[in-house]
Amino acid sequence: MTSKVVSVPTLTEFYVYVTNGCNCACRHCWIVPADQSVAKQGKTRFIDPKLLDLAIREALPLGLTALKWTGGEPTTHPGFDQLLRIQKEHGLAGRVETNGMAVTPGLAELMRECGVDNVSVSLDGACAATHDHNRNVAGGFERTLGGIRSLSGAGYRPELILSLLGGNLAEIGSFLALAADLGAGAVKFNVVQPSLRGAELHATGEVPSVHEILEIQGKVINEWQQRYDFPILIDVPMAFRPLQQLFGVNGLSRCGIFNILGLLANGQYALCGVGEHEAELVFGLAGCGQLETIWQAHPLLQRLRAELPDGLRGICGRCLMRGTCLGSCVATNYQHGHDLLAGYWFCEQAEVEGLFPACRLKL
């Protein structure tokens, strides 16, 4: 028997976890950033701009073309403007994930000037009471709307992300109308993962069931999308997506696990932000000249390249979409059961409940 020949892919994007701190304390956060009380104890970390620059220089020969700014909340970094200018200096594309509360007109213009092409803003309700409850911050709703308007003024049509929670499901219609009024370029409904803070919400039934999520998807496809000219997406695994979302221009993309690397606020390379909590998924420190060796030869990365998708287990191993889906999110799989190749929790649960589409399974 010959072993599988594994090629080393291009490292195209850093997910830069700018800080482990945040100006929110969201009830469903899977990163669990340091809140303000932790910040007062000096435990909030911010990525060193010099270390970021070194990491980029290490990655450029490996094919780096883009950065995703995330966190925690990236805009709370006291030198976020400096980070953006480093992106511009290296000619990289950029995208930002933010709660919008600290986005001023000046920051929005700077993001545009420095090459940030896309911005996603989390908005977890159609009214202040719901949003502020889910984000655990008084006045957050109005501040987020102000940030969205700043982005619109700079020429962006931001994607608005609503994490599906029991308290905001009745507001989806109003949320879509609000998104239209704000000039959104897209709306995405996120499924809360059963990890860290999200695990408690799953345990207490505060997130919709698989059945309810698929009902929402049906309304997106058959009702809501007909009313609006921007894409309305729901982040269900690929086995549940209609063909137009799999192959259309407005479809959800898969995780680019083969071509990305996380860069944590402490300067460590990691599989993604889950490395904040899972030490096994951290690969080494930026700026030490080791990135090429890490990218080419780290055992975990080699294993993923060798075993995805054919080594997936459970329902994912029997799914016809496994080569495209790649297990949906291996980081979530690891957090959920310390197995990168385990069946994705949503799909496993759907199969138990008789909701997994039979047409997407191998005979």
Contact 76, 24 (CB under 8 A): no
How is residue 275 annotated by DSSP?
G
Q: What does 114-175 look like in DSSP terms, one character per residue?
A: TTEEEEEEE---SSHHHHHHHHT-TTHHHHHHHHHHHHHHTT--PEEEEE--TTTGGGHHHH
32 has pLDDT over 70:
no
Sign of CA dihedral 274, 15, 27, 136: positive
- Sequence-ordered alpha helix ranges (H) in the chain: 36-40, 49-59, 80-89, 105-113, 128-135, 140-153, 172-181, 197-203, 210-219, 225-227, 243-247, 291-297, 299-307, 314-317, 322-325, 330-337, 345-352
Q: Calculate ∠ Cα 310-325-188, nearest 5°.
A: 165
Domains and CATH numbers, the chain: 13-247 (3.20.20.70)
How is residue 79 annotated by DSSP?
T
Task: Name residues whose C-beta falls within 8 Å of residue 327's C-beta, 6 or more positions apart in sequence.
Answer: 308, 309, 312, 316, 333, 340, 341, 342, 343, 344
244 has pLDDT over 90:
no
Task: Name residues whose C-beta falls within 8 Å of residue 106's C-beta, 6 or more positions apart in sequence.
Answer: none
Report pLDDT for 196. Answer: 82
Report pLDDT for 12. Answer: 98
Report pLDDT for 3. Answer: 54
36 has pLDDT over 50:
no
Average pLDDT value over all residues in the chain: 92
6-20, 184-198, 219-233, 240-254: range with lowest mean pLDDT: 240-254
238 has pLDDT over 80:
yes
Pairwise CA distance, residues 159 & 154, whole Å:
14
Query: Element (H or E) spanning 5, and its range?
Result: none
181-185, 273-277, 278-282: range with lowest mean pLDDT: 273-277
Report, in angstroms and rounded to the nearest whole number, the Rg of the chain calculated over CA atoms.
Answer: 20
pLDDT band at residue 243 using 50, 70 and 90 as cut-offs: confident
- Give the amino acid at 11: L
End-to-end alpha carbon distance in the chain: 26
57-69 average pLDDT score: 98
Contact 207, 251 (CB under 8 A): no
Q: Which SS3 state, helix, strand or coil, does residue 284 take? A: strand
287-313 average pLDDT score: 96
Counting Cα atoms < 13 Å in the Cβ hemisphere of 46 gives: 16
Pairwise CA distance, residues 22 & 328, whole Å:
26
Q: Do the strands 116-122 and 93-98 form a parallel or antiparallel pair, or are they unpaired?
A: parallel
pLDDT in tens, 143-197: 999 999 999 999 999 999 999 999 999 999 999 999 999 999 999 999 999 988 8
pLDDT band at residue 29 using 50, 70 and 90 as cut-offs: confident
Phi, psi at residue 308, to the nearest 5°?
-95, 130
Q: What does 194-229 look like in DSSP terms, one character per residue?
A: SSTHHHHHHHTT-S--HHHHHHHHHHIIIIIHHH-S
